[in-house]
Amino acid sequence: MDERSPKQNNRIENLTRQLLQHRQMLLAYVYVLVLDHHKAEDVLQETAVTLIRRAHEFGEVKNFWLLAKEISRRHALALLRKEANAPRSLSERAIMAIDDGFDHIQKHNIWDRDALFKCIRKLPKIWRRMIRLRYWMQMSVDQIARELSRSANTISVTLNRARIRLADCMIRCSRLGESA
């Protein structure tokens, strides 16, 4: 039986609490890398296991987000390397841009679920439907195109525009200190 000191137990408890606080943000980050909700959940669980098993190595964690994000990134990239049918491979530059974007969101505390839903409600009705089908229903672009009787290219372009508009709305909300 592995005996832990009260200090080690406290460190594990603290890491677990912080992991729960950052769960949504980490899941979103990993999802952007692996493009599969189930795989993102698996990577997040591996991240949690790594954090707990190696808690003694980390000492006092000054910036939990950076530590957890790096562990998640490594697990996600390892998963993608293992899978021959991975959705795509990201360049190092693309991953750095993703990291910077998520770091900005975390630093400025603009991960506000209520603001996100208010921003979504501001989108045109068809855009909201596409967002719901893609991210809530986990449908592929081709499936959405068939469902809405539109081309896959139209769906891709519209989803991209919707993401840009949502990002702009969230940034405006964070600057104004309000929730949309």
* pLDDT tens sequence across 49-105: 998 888 778 777 788 888 899 999 999 988 888 876 655 566 777 778 887 777 776
Query: What confidence score (pLDDT) does residue 2 get?
Result: 57
Domain parsing of the chain, residue ranges: 1-89, 108-180
Task: Output the average pLDDT for the chain.
Answer: 82
Task: Determine if the pTM surpasses 0.95.
Answer: no
From first CA to last CA, the distance across the chain in angstroms is: 51
* pLDDT tens sequence across 139-168: 899 999 999 999 999 998 999 899 888 888
- Give yes or no for a contact between 30 and 72, defined as CB atoms under 8 angstroms apart: yes
Q: SS3 for 74?
A: helix
> What CATH code would you report for 1-89?
1.10.1740
Secondary structure element (H or E) that encloses residue 159, with its range: helix 152-176
Quick one: tokens of 5?
């000191």
Percent of the chain with pLDDT over 90: 27
Pick the CATH number of 108-180 from 1.10.10.10, 1.10.510.10, 1.10.3720.10, 3.40.50.300: 1.10.10.10
